[in-house]
Amino acid sequence: MLSDYAPILILIAVVGLFTTGSVLLSELLGRKTRAIGKETAYECGMGTVGSARLRLSIHFYLVAVLFILFDVEALLLVPWAVAAREFARSGVGGVVLVEVIGFVGVLAIGLAYVWRKRGLSWDR
């Protein structure tokens, strides 16, 4: 059983050693000089204007939450689509299909609600 996962565990170990070694070598062999402007904030080639503590509209946060919601939906639908044929062979395909339709239906209701509340329009 463990031998099935051995290549994945070896890959994870090699990647971990490589990243740790790269960071340590960079820290040990890299330059230690400090430039005058190195510690300042840099944004699109322009200097900072105003405070970093300005208030943003809640709309930006709503869009971010909606993106995460539908990203998670895609993450959950892809494994189901890959395993759909196996579900059909095992005889539980109808039950799983109803569950997936219910899942997508709940998300469609959420999308309709957000659309009706104009949560997707940028010109507010």
Partners of 46 in the β-ladder = 43
Do the domain assignments include residue 123? no
Do the domain assignments include residue 109? yes
Q: What is the CATH number of the domain that holds 55?
A: 1.20.58.1610
Band the pLDDT of 13: cuts 50, 70, 90. Answer: very high
Domain extent at residue 100: 2-116
Q: Judging by beta carbons within 10 Å of its beta carbon (0-12, 13-18, 19+), is residue 37 exposed, middle or buried?
A: exposed
User: Looking at residues 30-44, what average pLDDT do you find?
Assistant: 73
User: Looking at residues 112-120, what average pLDDT do you find?
Assistant: 81
Do the domain assignments include residue 76? yes
Highest mean pLDDT among 8-22, 29-43, 101-115: 8-22
Q: 31: which DSSP letter?
A: -
What six digits make up the tokens of 29?
């062999």
pLDDT attached to residue 24: 96
Domains held by the chain: number? 1
In the chain, DSSP assigns E strands to: none
Q: What is the mean pLDDT of the chain?
A: 84
Highest mean pLDDT among 3-12, 15-24, 73-82, 98-107: 15-24
Instruction: Supply the pTM of this predicted model.
Output: 0.48
Do the domain assignments include residue 122? no
pLDDT tens digit sequence for 50-88? 777 878 777 777 778 888 888 888 888 888 888 888 888
Do the domain assignments include residue 46? yes
pLDDT attached to residue 47: 67
Do the domain assignments include residue 47? yes
